[in-house]
Structure 1
Amino acid sequence: MYALVDAVSFYASAEKVFDPSIRNKPVVVLTNNDGCICAVCPIARRLGIPKFEPYFKIKWLLQKHGVVVRSSNYELYADLSEKMMNVIGRFCDDQYIYSIDESFLLFKNYDNLIKDWHKYGHEIRRAIWKETKLPVGVGFGTTPTLAKAANHAAKKLPGYNGVSVIDSKNSAKEVLQKMDVGDIWGIGRKISKRLNLQGINNAFQFSRLDPKSIRREFSVVTERTLNELNGLSCLSWDDVREDKREIFSTRSFGQRIVDKHALQAALSKHGAIVCKKVRQQSSLVKKLLIFASSSPHDDFYYKQSFVYEFPVASDNSCDILSAISSVLDEIFKPGVRFYRCGVGAVQLESRQFQQSDLFMPDNSNPQLMKCLDKINNRYGQGTLKLGSEGKSEEFQMRREFLSPQFTSNWKDIPKIRC
């Protein structure tokens, strides 16, 4: 049996954890630089607040309904996510953290221990709420795709009360008939449109199609999705928990950058973030993409990128940031008001299967990188950093509605007065 545990409007729910005064109010969270709405709590959703709309367009609607607006507090979200995942991990014998608010569970030796999966799902929900105050939905299924479908039912369909179990053809039919075909995990927008044109509107109709014809018309991946909906497991646990093949860090600036050193600091910060994520999945960077651009709405749009290939793949922040510095002259152009920049590891290799070079020394220095990550994990990101990242906050994104970082900043730790 598989399960997927997913937080309900995670960013918006996280904002309510340490602020009880807004728990019964509508809350929305904005994207980088307070651009668009990226999270809408259930209360705000019932008011008709749309997701992914620019903030300035519906500012009047938010004010009309007294909606609480928050900037993205990534430091708080990351810490609450870690706490939530630690609680979830106690309820299974194998766990894969799929995203910041989603976790797949695999139950290998639980068949004789758990007689009622519905009851077990509610135990998971209560434990998470008790220890983190985050609401979650729990979906059980005989395949990862069915677990994802069950989670959709648990969170979005009436009558499931946060927990759904798909363990038979009847339970699968009950859920799939209520799901749009576009809500199936692995079915993208283009495929769902093509299916709609053929009269396939819900997940159950899709599951009744012939797998071979689906493979011919779409792909083997879509065929596997169909088989998974019929209880035939096609995704191995390793497929579900596959490492990322590319890792990016990119962001628009809170205010325009015209200085070369400020651009270098911004790119270096993105490079350090990419390095940390690369090390977390035990990968190495072989090719690095570095880019910067002005706004596409400027009169003279400028965008420049450079792909740097390392002789020997590395996860050393010193190597990555040195590469960024070496190509800075290729990217920076005087007079350009830079609006956005980023760094991406576009070709990754596994550290476990690294091919060494006889004539190139290994400068990865894993002990130093482990020490760097350990200190930053304990005392907060950015406690230790390389000199090229600089101290300037000029390139930081705009967050005018930022809530306190209750769990990661000493000055914001909640104070209890008795």
Structure 2
Amino acid sequence: MFFTESVQIMLSNFSFDDSNLPALNVLRQEVRDFLEEERQRGTVLRSPEGWDRFDPAFSKRLGARGWLGMTLPKEYGGHERTALERYVVTEELITAGAPLRAHWLTDRQIGPGILHYGTEAQKRLYLPRIAAGELYFCAGLSEPDSGSDLASIRTRATRVDGGWRINGSKIWTSGAHRVHMINLFARSSGTPEDRQQGVTQFLTDLNSPGITVRPIINMHGDHDFNQVFFDDVFVPDDAVLGTVGNAWSQVSTELAHERSGCERWLLSYGLLTRLITQVGSTPEPHVAERIGHLVAHLWTMHRMSFSIAAMLEEGKTPNVEAALVKDLGTHYDLEVPVVARQLIPPHVRASLEEDAPFNAMFNRVLDYSPSFTIRGGTREILRGIIARGLGLR
């Protein structure tokens, strides 16, 4: 029993030595108490989808608790909590399998982006609704035929009387079929050869005339991705986020939030917990060693990610550190299903019920794992950022 209990306690508690930060311990317990209440309601469960479930009602309950828009100023509906406090809340929610997809991207990066770059009118219009869990965005970044080369975008924003006319398309747009708005990254001057110059962000209502959202069904049979088409879509001048032509530096700051969070190394967390349960309380020594390696790696990612939250709290933009955490996290999330396949071989999985918890979790992670390498930037892009930060390029 010692092996299973000790590893499960470490996974569930994340006993990071934050004794000098007692408020975080209190907050962590508050979140756990809330999650226990939600388990009784059936909204929090260790399902294959984990936190990647869309539940607006749950998002609104988080907003009512003050756990959305945590770092935003109170005058805009926020709570002026620290980035470390937000980290504790999100880590607990993700590892519990709470349904976070509805508000996730909006709370993580759109809200901070509007706070830093938005007009006063934009802050007052959007931030209170974001903090309440009532307004959801998707990110309009990637484009067909561009891979991860974001600087080569061709979606065009042309100035017209009173605003801009948008033409083009975005792809792999998660959640575009069920959120309210898109943070659109478009070229407002020059050509794709100009790279980072002449690109602008637009806060765009997805109900605008001329926008078409087409589903992309993934290999698991789920509808998460979309391709979004813009055909002469008009957006007013007050939809511009930040400075016209300066979106590249704005997006770089946004991506630091996207790449450094604990969700970047917890995509396979549910499978790890099922694997520990499946091997039982007295596994063979080589099995215990392999799982111990995974848990140690998990702990390292936690410490690194937590330290980046501290950097964000200090007002820093840790682009290189965030890229490093994302790259290591991708490697980790790909390693977990490989180890699971080796420790629970096909003939053993076949002996289990088809919908057994381990099989269901394993099959989902295996199907989704190819996408882990491109979320938040491919490994090649991330390693390029790291190399430049180290002066190697």
- After TM superposition, the score normalised by the length of structure 2 is 0.26
TM-score, scaled to structure 1? 0.25
Q: Of the two, which has the highest radius of gyration?
A: 1
Q: Relative to total residues, which structure has the larger strand share, 1 or 2?
A: 1
> Which structure: greater helix fraction?
2
